[in-house]
Each structure stands twice: as structure tokens, then as C-alpha cells.
Amino acid sequence: MFRAGLRWAATLALCATAATATARGETMDTTDLRYGFRHDPMKFVEESDTLQAAIVRKFVFDRATPRDEELLQAEIDKVLEQQREDGSFGDTTEQTGARINELHRFGFDMDALEAQRAADALLAQYRAGKQNEEWYTGEGCLNGRALHALLRTGRYDAPETLLSLNWLAEPPEKMIGDYIGCPWTQEIIVNCVWDGREVAPMDDFIDRTFAWMRDSMSDAGQISYKDPWSFIFAAGYTGAPAGEEIVRKQLPMILRGQRPDGGWHWNSRWVFLALKNYGLFETLRELPPLPPDWEQSQAVSLPDGDYRDLTWDGERFWTIDSDAGRLVSVSPDGAVSRAGFDAPEKAQGVAAWDSGLAVVVAGEPPRVVVFDAITGEERRAVDLKKLSWAGSATRVGDALWVGDDFYGCAFEIDLDAPDEAKGRGVAGPSPGGLTAARDGIWHADRMAELLIKSDVDGKLLAFADLPFGVETRGIAWDGDTLWAVDNDQDRIVAIAPNTRAVGALDAAESQRVDTSSVSLAADGLRQDGFALAFVEAARLLGRDVDYSTARALSGNAFSHRLGSEAACAAWWHAASRDHGIRDAAEALGLRVRQIADEGFTGDPDDAAGM
């Protein structure tokens, strides 16, 4: 939101150590059109009775029902009820502009009297100095929502429109960057200037914005604290050719973020539209469904409650029951006991701290209260003056890391010097459910709707499903296993990578492969360099595995030279991935020689002379 943009811009020094999340991380599958939807999206289109489904039917599929029209008109009526006698919807240009844009969202005619009166009022507010002070409006530029409202109501000739468009576009770099503006700045501005192309030359700005998205985006589809779904919004809204790369890079997030009803909740309109814009919708419907990233093993029940955050103290788990206002402890064998002391009001996060618990409490400022875990006695309380929306916590070395959803980063805190807290980037915008594991820091990102693993510098290491969707309220590492809170079912569950479908997540946490159940069928979906190395390992262990069943692989540099039925029996490709054939083969005591692509025709016999 632009109102928040100024505050975010002022925090750059706090997050100076944060990585820009451009690093390549390891996902549990590459999702490069190997897999499709987990749930049929047409079920959402055809059966859902929600407002979001009505919007999709009307504006994406052009098949609104009479009830859909009623739902949309009811939303329009709610907005129009707020219009004042002078045509405005509030005291400032942003408030009036936001309501105009909301009317547009529900399909209201922008030439209608109410919309035109609102546009007149907006211009009057601007000329009277009633504009929200944004970090860029000091130059006389309208804020993004107000400018878009003028464009949508046809006020192309207003001098404020041209002035604002020219200011935004010259030079584009002032509006483009990993830490410029708020989580939605770039989406709001690019959509706005897209509609201003008839007023001023905007193509360069649009191209540079999409190029920044493409080049800055991690494998998980993330850029610093930016809302990743906003990039899909921009691609869906504009349909710009450059948007296709953005959508393709975000397919891993899109497929994992799909809800069981087939939609994407409030992101549904723009996901459906983006996929249809770029010809991906039907293709994804025809592909096999993306397998789940996690397998569940042990589950431990919790008392009925509303849980948030999770920590392991070496013997038992602790979580916060917000309904009861208490801390709940549970051992892995299922013995549950309610702690004998209340959690502080507005407790947000909990971390094991020496022989006690460090509980993060919301407030102005937020604070950390350290308790004795046995007696419940308060040991100390520390104000966190640098934080705003303090949440989940975990211990990293001698420091307490606390996630802050407002700033989109974690803060590294020395409890003896809390005013020197350092902003630490993570590889996702909403660092909830923090937990330090053996070789990285996991967090449950409710904005991206992914479980994301970063190193201490914010570099992306891995990402996967939220095992229980948005009800994944906390995660904890017990030294061997990752556990997650399933708030919907009131339980804590041990989770492990689904190796049968997608391979080990990373070297530190890989699970032992069962040679009796692993499939090497030539389906072109699950095999990669690691799978081929496993073929050799299985043979060394005496298992009868036939190389001729290993076909050309989509991740192989030579696969474009081979027919779909060509065998890979006589040659190997040395990939450079973490689990590439070279690393896996060397771990098995084998030597691998990389062969050049040039001149290779696909005939295995050619490899002998290379």
C-alpha cells in the first residue's frame, strides 16, 4: 500500500544486510510444465458460489450468472453508499481514488454520473492540497491509486495526469527496485501506466519493470518483501508479452498456492487471467497433478484451541494457544500439559531460550518476555523499539530472531542490546513460523503461501508447500525432523520430503532412498542426474537395474537432441546442480567426464569419440 511505502523506504538501513533473493534455491520439483494443477480449476469456475468466483466467471470467462450479477451489484452498492455530496469518498485523493478503482473492479460503468462526480472531486482534492503524502508525491505527482482512477474515468487531458505519468517514467529506476516502495508499489504503478500509454510513452517503463521482476525473482518467485502475487496481478492485468516469463517463473508458487476448491482465494481473478493470457491454462489442466512436497509421519494431538508459532526446547514442543491465552507444551509421545502460567496478552511468537521461553508480545513497542519454563516466573522483559509487527521467533546462535511482517524481514536481536537489532532478510516477504534448522532457517510464509528455507544472509536454499496450507501456523526443528502446527486439526505433525515423488530436499536433510520401492520408469517426469547416479548405486549394491529404461531427461542439456524414445545407455551428462550427476557420482566413488554438446547428434555411439 502506498501509505506504507514511506515507512518501508525509511527502513532500508535496517535491512541493508538482506539478500535480494536472486539466488537459485532447490525446489522439490522444477515445475517446468512437468506437472499441472492439483485441483481442477474449472470446479471453482463452475461450482463456487463465492464473490471471487463470480468475478472470475464475469471478467475472465464471460459467463456470469444472474446471481453473480447480483453479488457484484451488491458490492457496487456498498461503495456508492459511501459517496459524499461533493462526489468524494473521503478526505484525500487516495481515499476517493481507491473507491473509484473498487467500482471499476466490480464492473461499474466509469462513464456513469457517480464515477464522473468522483473524478471531479478527486481533482478538486488534489488542487486543494488534500493528497496523501507519499515518498514520491513531493514532486507534485499524484499517488498511484488516484492517478489510476483518473485514467479509468477518462481524465486523460487533465494536466495532473500527464505530469504524474511523465514523472513516474523518467527515469524508471526511481520506481523500480527490490527495496523501493511497499510490497505492492510496482504492481500498482505498472498497471496504472499501462492504462496511460495513450497519454505518454510508457513502453520503456513497462519493459524495465517486467525485466526487473524477471531478473530479481528467485526460483521461489520471490523478491525481497514484495507480495509475489502482485507480479501475477501485473501480468494478468496488462497481458504484456514480457509478463509471460514472470508467470512461468511463478508456476511453482501458483500450483502450490491453489486451494482445494480449485481457486486461489482473493488472487483468483489474476491467476486465472494470467494463465489464460499466456496459453498456460489448458496445458496445465492436461498435465499430471503436482505431487505433495511433504509426507506426514507422526502426529501429536493438541487440546482444542487457536495455535500460533512452535518451538522445541530439547524435550518438548511449546506453542501459544491464543484462544485460552496460555502456553501449551507437548512431548513427541503425545503427553500434553497446559503450562501453569498464562501467556502474555497479544503473545505472537515463542522460542526456547536457555532453560526458559522467550515470548514475543505485540504492542507499541513490541517486547520479549523471558519466562522460566517450569515455574512460569518472569525473568526479564525487553522492549523491541526497532520492530513494528513482531511475530514468530527462533534462536539462531546466541541471538533471538524475530519476524516482522511490516518490514518483511527478521530482526537479529541481542537481548542485552535490543536497540542494536539488525534487519536480516529471508527469502520470502512474510517471515512467520521461524525455526532454525541444521543448515538454514525455515519460515512459513503466509503471503507467498510457501515453506521457505534461507541461509543467515537471506539466500534462498529451498522451498515447498505449506503442509497444511494457510493453517500451517508454526514450524519447529527437533534436531532431526521438521514439525508443523496444523491449526485446523489441532495437532503437531512430523513432516519429511516426499522423496518418492520429487527427491530429497537437500543434502543435509535427505531421506534414505528405499531401493525396493523407487521407480525408474521412463516417464520423463521424475528422473534427473541424481536418479541416474542412483541407477549406478543400485547396480553396485547388486540390484538388477537396466539402463535402457532411463530415457532422455527434460533437465538434460542433450534432451533436445534426442527423440522421446531414445535410450541414454551410453552417455552421461555432468550437471552443475547441487545434486547433479558429478556430485552424486563422486559420492559413490565414480568418475564422470563431461562431454561437449557441440556435434552431439543423439547417437550414444557419438559419445565415445568426444
Beta bridge partners of 356: 353, 372
Sign of the dihedral through C-alpha 197, 203, 204, 209: positive
Mean pLDDT confidence for 400-423: 94
Residue 102, pLDDT above cutoff 90: yes
Q: Alpha helix (H) ranges present in 82-196?
A: 93-105, 113-127, 144-152, 159-169, 185-194
What pLDDT is attached to residue 176? 86
Secondary structure element (H or E) that encloses residue 348, with its range:
strand 347-353
Q: Grid coordinates representing 37? A: 494443477
Q: What is the pLDDT of residue 596?
A: 46
Tens digits of residue pLDDT in 358-378: 999 999 999 999 999 988 899
CA distance 539 to 547: 10
Rounded to an integer, what distance in angstroms lies between the CA atom of residue 90 and that of residue 98?
10
Confidence of residue 132 (pLDDT cuts 50, 70, 90): confident
Q: pLDDT at residue 171 above 60?
A: yes
The band of 564, judged by pLDDT with boundaries at 50, 70 and 90, is: very low
Does the structure show a pLDDT above 80 at 20?
A: no
Ranges 6-15, 23-32, 496-505, most confident: 496-505
The domain spans of the chain are 36-68+170-290, 82-160, 294-502, 513-556+568-587
Q: For the chain, give the mean pLDDT.
A: 81
Least confident stretch, 175-179, 402-406, 414-418: 175-179
Query: Across-strand partners of 435?
Result: 442
Read off φ and ψ for residue 593, nearest 5 degrees. -110, 125
Q: Which of 3-12, 336-345, 523-532 has the highest mean pLDDT?
A: 336-345
Q: What pLDDT shows up at residue 471?
A: 86
pLDDT in tens, 133-148: 666 666 778 888 999 9
Q: Which residues contact 603 (CB under 8 A, 6 or more apart)?
A: none
User: Mean per-residue pLDDT for 379-386?
Assistant: 95
User: What pLDDT is recorded for position 533?
Assistant: 57
The per-residue pLDDT for range 305-335, each reduced to its tens digit, is 999 999 999 999 999 999 999 999 999 988 7
Residue 345 or 523, more confident: 345
Point out the least confidently predicted range of 404-408, 463-467, 557-561, 591-595: 557-561
Range among 11-20, 87-96, 201-210, 588-597 with highest mean pLDDT value: 87-96
Q: Which fold has domain 294-502?
A: Neuraminidase (2.120.10)
**Rounded percentage of the chain residues whose pLDDT exceeds 90:** 63
